Structure formats: structure tokens, C-alpha cells
């Protein structure tokens, strides 16, 4: 899949034929023997009625794995000791990037099992419920809340309440918000165990699997960098999800020695210039990029810098703000899409001011050679865009030689490459 001839194959006009074949295989797989437990129901109407009227798990066993009310585990259910990839699975993976405006919500369905990564804003509950019902989803094996910001876990309480997953992944950080408390309460009510991510752990979904890549360290007040980062592999195809992880967390991932390469990259932080640093993008080396953002959003996403970086690398771009919900289908060898890539490189309008959930420094002193993040141990050029995201409590200016900082244990920012 990483070969150049494979790239040409994926982009050929035959992608639609492959999609039709894959859909036919999916329909056939849903007609399993009586009593077989599938995440995809044979009747989406029945699933919708059950989910909306009963407020419980629509179909399936109705009882998630794990004991205890909202119990936390270190490594979670569904762990696989096998390696990701290997022989071709012979089924189908579909990845649905839902249009939930300025938010994230992704549904993965693999060989009859389903999971969600993030769940939009609080106001997106009906949109998400209706979409999952339309796909015949009757149960979830996993749910991942990448980090506790409202635009990623806003409707996770609704998802947990209707389709209690066997395992709910949340990072080892909390937010003092009603939204976050709602998620914890829903998990407790449905006896869903909360699992904290452990780097390198692999979990199976159908014939595919995903591996936890981040977060790698304590990122203090920057909840974006606490994002759970995972890579999903199905046969020869792979997808990378990094939540809102920004340049510091991306730099740590690049330095970790983990395999970040993927065919599809869900662009970090809705296309913000604080993410998708050059080094990180080079490590991923994707063929396709999907940006989940809202029309006329308040943050100017996607930023022009990000669009230019993706386009300059020859990556085909998909955008929910322009194209609505986008679906990628994979048979283990090829990836086909529900729509053609976007031909637009138009960025959102940058607002005059954007607020962060913590206090930052307004300006950098003229005599500063570098700016340090004392918590992440990264150093930046004074004009780096990441400087504006450093919490004031972690901010320090430095005058001196670059090597001095490296000797003190600091690493260069992967965005500005000081």
C-alpha cells in the first residue's frame, strides 16, 4: 500500500467498481446465521425505534464487558497480542467521517463490529444517533473520547447511553466541565469500564485492529496535546487519528520511534496550523487527508498553512465543511471514497481573536532567542505559531545557544524547526 504503484491503483477510475463489490460483500456478511451477534443490524428501522424509545442498547447483548460501575482499567478489554496487518482479512472496513460541524465524530465498522472516535458537540446528539441508526448500528465494541473538550465528547454521554460500548477510552486527564461529568455519569449508569490509553496496546475490531500511539507524556493544561492518538490497520490499509494533538505532542510522537505511517490521516485539530507539523506529516506520509470542520467556524479552520502543506505533499484532501459526511471503504488492499476529493484550497477566515482555556503570554521579548515550554521540554522560535498555545505557567524565554537547550534535555519544535 505504501508503494507508488499502489497509490496509482487507489486513485484509478476503478474505485467505484471496488466500492460496489465491497457493498455487496457487506450486505452478504449481514445475512449471518440466526442468533449471530452483529454490530450491523438487518433492520435499521428496528434499531432506530429501539434506540430512541428505550434509551438503551439497541440489539446485541445489551450488557457491556467489565464489572463494577464505571470501573477504570489500565489496559482494557479486547486486547490483542497479535501484530496488526498480516494476511488480507477478506471482509470490509468502512470509516465514516461524520459532518458534525466544528467538531469530530468518526464511525468505524469492520466485519460486523463497530466503534466511534469522538462524538461531536452537545448539540450533535440527534445527528449522531440518526446516522448510526441509518447504518444499522446496534452495538459498539469501543468508544474513544480523544480528549475532554466539548467538540469531541459533547454527545458521548448520549452514545454511551444508547449503545453502551464494551470499553470507553479516555485520556488520563480531566476537565472541570458539565460535559465531561455527563460522560462519566453515563459510563457509570451503563456500567461501562473506562480504560486509560497504554502506549503500544493493540485492540481488535473485526478483522482489523488499532494501536494506541499517544499521548506520550504529561501535557499539563494543554488538553489538546492529551489527545489519544491511534492507528487503525486493516490488511494493507491504515488510518491515523490524532484528535487535536498539536506540535509539541506531534514532536514527541516523531521522536518515539513508533510507526506513524498511514494511508489516511484525519487532520489534527480540524486543520489548525498548530497541528500537522512538517515532520509529523512526513512521518505519516499519507495518500489522503480528511479535515473535519464547520462552515464559517470561529477559528478559521482549516488554516491556509495546513492546506498548502497537504497540497504541497500531493495529498488528496477531503473536507466535511464542503462535502458533508465522507465515507472511506477498504477491502484490505484498496481504499475507495463516497465522493471525489475536494478541489478547493480555500481556508476559513481567521478571527481577530481566539481564546484558549488557559492564560498565555501576549508577546515575546525582542531579545529572546528561543521560547521554552518547560512542561513538554520543547523549544521554539519566537515567531512559531505554537508559542501562542503555551500556558503561561509553562512559558520561559531563553537567550543563548541552541545546543545548550539540547544539553538541558529540550527538543526542537517540529513545526518551526529551530
b/e code 216-243 from CB counts within 10 Å (16+ = b): beebbbbbbbbbbbbbbbbbbbbbbbbb
Q: Are residues 135 and 240 in the same domain?
A: yes
Q: List the pLDDT tens digit at each of the 418 positions of the chain.
A: 544 434 433 444 344 444 444 444 444 444 433 333 334 443 332 233 233 333 333 333 333 333 333 444 444 434 433 333 334 566 899 999 999 999 999 999 999 999 999 999 999 999 999 999 999 999 999 999 999 999 999 999 999 999 999 999 999 999 999 999 999 999 999 999 999 999 999 999 999 999 999 999 999 999 999 999 999 999 999 999 999 999 999 999 999 999 999 999 999 999 999 999 999 999 999 999 999 999 999 899 999 999 999 999 999 999 999 999 999 999 999 999 999 999 989 998 765 555 556 788 888 999 999 999 887 788 899 988 888 888 888 899 999 999 998 888 888 886 677 8
Give me the sheet containing 316-319, strands edge to edge.
202-205, 208-214, 229-234, 237-241, 264-266, 288-291, 316-319
Residue 23 bridge partners (DSSP): none
The CA-CA-CA angle for residues 159, 136, 209, to 5°, reads: 70
Q: Are residues 160 and 95 in the same domain?
A: yes
CA dihedral 168, 292, 235, 210 (to 10 degrees): -20
- Asked if residue 254 belongs to a domain, the reply is yes
pLDDT for 89: 61
pLDDT for 50: 31
Number of DSSP helices (H) and strands (E) in the chain, helices first: 12, 20
pLDDT for 28: 45
Residue whose grid cell is 491556509: 304
* CB of 214 closer than 8 Å to CB of 249: yes
pLDDT for 385: 82
- Asked if residue 418 belongs to a domain, the reply is no
* CB of 21 closer than 8 Å to CB of 258: no
Using a CB cutoff of 8 Å and minimum separation of 24, what contacts does 397-405 make?
Answer: 397/364, 397/365, 397/368, 397/370, 397/371, 397/372, 398/368, 398/369, 398/370, 398/371, 398/372, 399/367, 399/368, 399/369, 400/369, 400/370, 402/370, 405/370, 405/372, 405/379
Q: Are residues 285 and 381 in the same domain?
A: no
- Asked if residue 355 belongs to a domain, the reply is no
pLDDT for 218: 95
* CB of 301 closer than 8 Å to CB of 272: yes
Residue whose grid cell is 498553512: 305
Query: What distance in Å separates the CA atoms of residue 264 and residue 169, rounded to the nearest whole number?
Result: 22
CA dihedral 385, 389, 392, 393 (to 10 degrees): -120
In 3D space, the residue among 252, 315, 295 whose CA is nearest the CA of residue 102 turns out to be: 295
Question: Of 294, 319, 337, which residue constitutes the final position of a domain?
Answer: 337
Total tally of structural domains belonging to the chain: 2
Query: What distance in Å separates the CA atoms of residue 185 and residue 339, rounded to the nearest whole number?
Result: 38
Q: How many CB atoms lie within 10 A of CB 345?
A: 12
**If DSSP codes are grouped into helix, strand and coil, which group holds residue 204?**
strand
- Asked if residue 36 belongs to a domain, the reply is yes
Q: Are residues 119 and 41 in the same domain?
A: yes
* CB of 275 closer than 8 Å to CB of 268: yes
CA dihedral 359, 362, 366, 370 (to 10 degrees): 40
- Asked if residue 382 belongs to a domain, the reply is yes
Query: For the CA atoms of the chain, what is the radius of gyration?
Result: 21
Backbone angles phi, psi at 388, to 5 degrees: -70, -5
Question: Of 314, 337, 360, which residue constitutes the final position of a domain?
Answer: 337
Query: What distance in Å separates the CA atoms of residue 319 and residue 97, rounded to the nearest whole number?
Result: 9
Q: Are residues 295 and 192 in the same domain?
A: yes
Residue whose grid cell is 498548530: 274
Handedness of CA 133, 137, 138, 142 (dihedral sign): negative
Q: Are residues 126 and 210 in the same domain?
A: yes
- Asked if residue 345 belongs to a domain, the reply is no
Burial of 71 (0-12, 13-18, 19+ CB in 10 A): middle
- Asked if residue 24 belongs to a domain, the reply is yes
Backbone angles phi, psi at 250, to 5 degrees: -60, -40
Residue whose grid cell is 471525489: 340
Q: Are residues 333 and 382 in the same domain?
A: no
pLDDT for 260: 98
* Residues belonging to the chain: 418
CATH number for the domain harbouring residue 36: 3.60.15.10
- Asked if residue 356 belongs to a domain, the reply is no
245: which 3 cell numbers? 494533538
Q: How many CB atoms lie within 10 A of CB 327?
A: 18
Q: Are residues 150 and 66 in the same domain?
A: yes
**If DSSP codes are grouped into helix, strand and coil, which group holds residue 71?**
coil
Domain of residue 391: give its range: 370-412
Query: What distance in Å separates the CA atoms of residue 14 and residue 16, rounded to the nearest whole number?
Result: 5
Question: Of 315, 337, 359, which residue constitutes the final position of a domain?
Answer: 337
pLDDT tens, residue by residue, 384-409:
888 888 888 889 999 999 999 888 88
Q: Are residues 10 and 78 in the same domain?
A: yes
pLDDT tens, residue by residue, 307-348:
999 999 999 999 999 999 999 999 999 999 999 999 989 998
The CA-CA-CA angle for residues 115, 222, 285, to 5°, reads: 55
Q: Are residues 23 and 167 in the same domain?
A: yes
Backbone angles phi, psi at 256, to 5 degrees: -75, -20
Q: Are residues 302 and 154 in the same domain?
A: yes
Q: Are residues 229 and 97 in the same domain?
A: yes
Amino acid at each position: 500500500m505504501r508503494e507508488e504503484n499502489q497509490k496509482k491503483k487507489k486513485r484509478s477510475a476503478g474505485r467505484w467498481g471496488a466500492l460496489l463489490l465491497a457493498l455487496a460483500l457487506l450486505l452478504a456478511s449481514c445475512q449471518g446465521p440466526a442468533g449471530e451477534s452483529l454490530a450491523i443490524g438487518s433492520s435499521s428501522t428496528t434499531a432506530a425505534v429501539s434506540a430512541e424509545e428505550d434509551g438503551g442498547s439497541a440489539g446485541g447483548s445489551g450488557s457491556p464487558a467489565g464489572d463494577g460501575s464505571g470501573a477504570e482499567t489500565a489496559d482494557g478489554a479486547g486486547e490483542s497480542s497479535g501484530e496488526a496487518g498480516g494476511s488480507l482479512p477478506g471482509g470490509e472496513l468502512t470509516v465514516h467521517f461524520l459532518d458534525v460541524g466544528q467538531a469530530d465524530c468518526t464511525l468505524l465498522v469492520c466485519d460486523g463490529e463497530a466503534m466511534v472516535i469522538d462524538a461531536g458537540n452537545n448539540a450533535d446528539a440527534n445527528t449522531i444517533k440518526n446516522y448510526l441508526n441509518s447504518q444499522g448500528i446496534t452495538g459498539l465494541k469501543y468508544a474513544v473520547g480523544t480528549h475532554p473538550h466539548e467538540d469531541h465528547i459533547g454527545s458521548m454521554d448520549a452514545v454511551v447511553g444508547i449503545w453502551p460500548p464494551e470499553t470507553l477510552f479516555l485520556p488520563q486527564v480531566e476537565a472541570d466541565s458539565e460535559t465531561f461529568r455527563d460522560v462519566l455519569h453515563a459510563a457509570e449508569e451503563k456500567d461501562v469500564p473506562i480504560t486509560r490509553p497504554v502506549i503500544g496496546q493493540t485492540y481488535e475490531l473485526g478483522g482489523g485492529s488499532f494501536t494506541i500511539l499517544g499521548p506520550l507524556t504529561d501535557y499539563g493544561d494543554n488538553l489538546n496535546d492529551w489527545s489519544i492518538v491511534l492507528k487503525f490497520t486493516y490488511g494493507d490499509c491504515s488510518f491515523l487519528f490524532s484528535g487535536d494533538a498539536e506540535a509539541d505532542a506531534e514532536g514527541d510522537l516523531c521522536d518515539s520511534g513508533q510507526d506513524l505511517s498511514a494511508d489516511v490521516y484525519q487532520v489534527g485539530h480540524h486543520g489548525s496550523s498548530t497541528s500537522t507539523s512538517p515532520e509529523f506529516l512526513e512521518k505519516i506520509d499519507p495518500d489522503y487527508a480528511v479535515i473535519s470542520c464547520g462552515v464559517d467556524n470561529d477559528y478559521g479552520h482549516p488554516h491556509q498553512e495546513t492546506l498548502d502543506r497537504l497540497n504541497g505533499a500531493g495529498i488528496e484532501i477531503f473536507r466535511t465543511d464542503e462535502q458533508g459526511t465522507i465515507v472511506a471503504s477498504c477491502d484490505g488492499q484498496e481504499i475507495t471514497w463516497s465522493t471525489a476529493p475536494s478541489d478547493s484550497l480555500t481556508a476559513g477566515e481567521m478571527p481577530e481573536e481566539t481564546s484558549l482555556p488557559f492564560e498565555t503570554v501576549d508577546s515575546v521579548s525582542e531579545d529572546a532567542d528561543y521560547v521554552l515550554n518547560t512542561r513538554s521540554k520543547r523549544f521554539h522560535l519566537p515567531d512559531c505559531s505554537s508559542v501562542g498555545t503555551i500556558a503561561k505557567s509553562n512559558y520561559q524565554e531563553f537567550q543563548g545557544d541552541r545546543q545548550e537547550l539540547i544539553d538541558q534535555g529540550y527538543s526542537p519544535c517540529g513545526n518551526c524547526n529551530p
